[in-house]
Chain A
Amino acid sequence: MLQNINIDVHHLTRVEGHGNIKVNVTDGVVETCEWQVPEAPRFFEAMCRGRHYSEVGRITSRICGICSIGHTLASVKATEAALGIEVTPQTTKLRTLLKHAENFDSHVLHVYVLVAPDLLGAPSAFALVETHAEVVARALRLKRLAHEWGSLIGGRTTHPTTVLPGGFSKVPTVPELSAMRDKLAAAVPDLQATLETIAALAPGIPAFDRPTEYMAVSSDSEYGLYDGFVQTILPDGDRARYDVADYRSCTNEYVSPLSTAKYTKNRLDSYAAGALARFNVNYDMLHPEAKKVAESLGMGPICTNPYMNSVAQVVEIVHSAHEALRLFDELIAEGVTEEPLVMPTRSGTGAAAVEVPRGILFHEYTFDDEGFCTEADCIIPTGQNHANIQADFDALLPWLMASGKSEDEMRLAFEMLVRAYDPCISCSTHYLDVEFVR
């Protein structure tokens, strides 16, 4: 067993935002084992104040360029809840389809660009152009497909234009939907190949387990990405359910005595959000094709290996593709009509929860009688996952030491763990500093 370990990863690569890993062991004694976040804070909640309700979603979308569809959707839903706006079934369907585009898009990027290089022993996806040209071409093809699919509904995928409180400024036509549906259906062989790539690489995923609480948006009618209540599940299968408006009672932001960070917790000391959490909480609502994929990859609920988040993302890629085909078919059969925006009926406070690729996103706003925002609160997935990442670190270090790994292997294992969460650190609405008092 290694007695002296010194791992210092400054600005971890292949994650969104800036994070550091610091691990120090001297003579077999753990001195430091930390996940730190030195991102520049950006103060979005403050910037929403005084803005008209029609602008708030445009502003908070800029919290994160990767989850900007999810931020926009959470924001307009919270705005609608605050202003008593009930959108039409067509709007809900189009937004759900847009949400699937984002999950598909982001998971493709994460699995191919951030995770696959680790498993293929390459420093980056660019390095794979020489060695694995087909994998890279396939990744770029799937990425573009998702971009076109999201743009058709949202106008563009980075900071969508058409999504507004009360509905859409522009809706796709039936011929446009049909063309996109056919493109998506034609991508099924690429999805199959993705599975084969991941199945071949799966043995490289560390067999590390740490049971925790899992939290996700759930619904009785769908897998819970766009709408529903909040549900958590403990490793023994015990479930709890919360209304979205009561999100503070399940997120419980607090300042840890060990850290200056705002952490979240619920029934245990930390909880996980993201693809693996959704998989564990909402497994029964997965599309049958996605369940088949999970089974073929040897994965079932409740999966307690945090590294398997990347595999859960592959399961979700397949789920989103098949659910989207169903939604495309429904919209094509029903027809799509230009609908006027639904107007506010009152002022007040409203909250919303939407699943973004990395977990639950909560937005809450208060608007005055003139429609100006007076209060804003956003709780982002990575903020919720930080405490859980730290708890994983605390368990991972002794596990790695006991299994006789070298320092380099350990560094990679730590990096891979953080990358598996796909943390979206640049969403610095709540700054988190995970520096421990020594």
Chain B
Amino acid sequence: MPETRKPTLAFFDFASCEGCQIEFTNYGDEATLELLKHVEIVEFREAMTETTTGRIDFALVEGSFTREEDRTRLQEIRRRSRVVIAYGACACTGGINALKNHQDDFAEYVYGDDASMPHLRSGTARPISAAIKVDYEVLGCPMSKEELLLVISNLLHGTIYFAPTYPVCVQCKRRETICRFDEGDYCMGQVAIAGCGAPCPADGIPCEACRGFVEDANIPALEKVLMDRAGFSHKRAVGKSRMFTANLRS
């Protein structure tokens, strides 16, 4: 019955904490059972035994591309999939994994004398778009599960989801959160891409730009603000500004 076939959805993971997959289990009964009416999940290693070699309509890829041997697996996923969705900062930008890209002794530090063993080889943490073409990106660490539902629901309806391009401050103002700077704290929401709904300032902590920076973000100005208004040392300001965004800047 090809005409009644539900679109297939498959999950794949690379170097990650699998937190984005876990977010997928946090929708609760109503949203999950409703979604299952419209898509057929054909591969989800963490939750099911079945794997697929067939065509995939929507492939959700989590995690960074860190080893050359993962390239073939990514290409294979691309070849079989109609739409590839990178979800989570690890997959979209390299995320927190990219912090090590600014170090050259990470392997020695963790594994000592064993560091040169071939199975411990780990190159630069890169977004999966460094290996294959990606159709949609769901940003965040963890990804915004509401945004992922929006992407999938638009795909099911044949429409296109456009992610915000404006900074987190806009969403923060919209929910009337008192600005962290007014509380004597600091924040990076001025340069972070919105779409998460600005939960962090609302929870009383600074935005750390886990969704990455808006286009043309003025990083020197960000560092200056962190030093002038939050009283950070230069070292701390530079470090802060590359917490989740190590790949997006020098």
Which residues does A use to contact B, with CB under 8 Å?
11, 13-17, 38, 40-43, 45-47, 49-52, 55, 58-59, 62-66, 68, 109, 113-114, 117, 123-127, 129, 136-137, 140-141, 143-144, 147, 155-159, 161-162, 164, 169-170, 255, 260, 370, 372, 426-427, 429-431, 433
Residues B117 and A260 in contact, CB atoms below 8 Å apart: yes
Known contacts A113-B47, A117-B49, A159-B141; is-contact A42 B15 (Cβ 8 Å): yes
Q: Which of B66, B67, B203 contacts A161 (CB 8 A)?
A: B203
Q: What is the minimal beta-carbon distance from A349 to any residue of chain B, in angstroms?
A: 16
CB < 8 Å: which of A58, A126, A140, A260 contacts B47? A126
Query: CA separation between A426 and B15, bound complex, in Å?
Result: 8
B111: Cβ under 8 A from any A Cβ? yes
Which B residues are within 8 Å of any A CB, using their own CB? 14-23, 25-29, 32-33, 36, 41, 44-51, 63, 66-67, 70, 95-97, 99-100, 103, 105-107, 109-111, 114, 117, 119-120, 122, 141-142, 199-200, 203-205, 208, 233, 235-236, 239-240, 243
Chain B residues whose CB sits within 8 angstroms of the CB of A124 once the complex forms: 44, 47-50
A126 lies within 8 A of B36 (CB): yes
Q: From the candidates A141, A144, A169, A433, name the one contacting B26 in the complex (CB within 8 A).
A: A144
Total cross-chain contacts (CB, 8 A): 183
A164 to B205, CA, bound (A): 9
- Shortest C-beta distance, B85 to chain A (Å), equals 18
Given A16-B46, A126-B41, A155-B203, the answer on whether A51 and B239 have CB atoms closer than 8 Å is yes
22 sampled A-B residue pairs with Cβ under 8 A: A13-B50, A14-B46, A17-B18, A40-B67, A42-B122, A46-B109, A52-B240, A65-B18, A123-B50, A124-B48, A124-B49, A124-B50, A126-B47, A140-B32, A141-B28, A147-B28, A155-B199, A158-B20, A161-B199, A164-B205, A169-B204, A169-B205
A58 and B208 in contact (CB under 8 A), knowing A129-B36, A159-B19? yes
Contacts of B204 in A (CB 8 A): 162, 169-170
Q: Taking the nearest CB of chain A, how far is it from the CB of B196, in angstroms?
A: 10
- Asked whether B17 lies within 8 Å of A64 as measured between CB atoms, the reply is yes
Contact B240 A55 (CB under 8 A): yes
Q: In the bound complex, do residue A65 and residue B21 qualify as a contact, i.e. CB atoms below 8 Å apart?
A: yes
Assembly CA distance A426 to B70 (angstroms): 16
* Residue in B41, B67, B100, B105 with the greatest tally of chain A CB atoms within 10 Å: B100
In the complex, what residues of B have CB within 8 A of residue A117's CB? 48-49
Given contacts A144-B28, A169-B204, contact A68 B47 (CB under 8 A): no
Which chain A residue has the least Cβ–Cβ distance from B37? A129
> B18, A141: Cβ atoms under 8 Å?
no
Given A52-B236, A65-B142, A124-B44, do A45 and B109 touch, yes or no (CB 8 Å)? yes
A176 to B204, CA, bound (A): 17
Distance (whole angstroms) from the CB of B100 to the closest CB of chain A: 5
**Cβ B114 vs Cβ A143 within 8 A:** no
User: Whole-angstrom distance from the CB of A430 to the nearest CB of chain B?
Assistant: 7
- Cross-chain contact A158 with B103 (CB below 8 angstroms): no
- A52–B70 contact, CB under 8 A? no
A-B pairs with lowest CB-CB distance, top 6: A65-B19, A124-B48, A169-B204, A144-B28, A46-B106, A140-B29
By a CB distance below 8 angstroms, the chain B residues around A59 are 96, 99, 243
Query: What residues of A have a CB within 8 angstroms of the CB of B199 in the complex?
Result: 155-156, 161
User: Measured between alpha carbons, how far is A66 from B99 in the docked complex, in Å?
Assistant: 21
Answer whether A15 and B46 are a contact pair too, CB < 8 Å, given A47-B100, A140-B32, A157-B26.
Answer: yes
Known contacts A14-B46, A123-B49; A41 and B122 CB within 8 A of each other: yes
Chain A residues with CB under 8 Å of B15's CB are: 40, 42
List B contacts of A158 (CB < 8 A): 19-20, 22-23, 26, 142
Q: A13 near B49 (CB under 8 angstroms)?
A: yes
- Complex CA–CA separation, A256 to B3 (angstroms): 57
Residues of B within 8 A of A147 (CB): 26, 28
Q: Is the CB of A14 within 8 A of B48?
A: yes
- Report yes or no: A68 in contact with B17, Cβ–Cβ below 8 A: yes
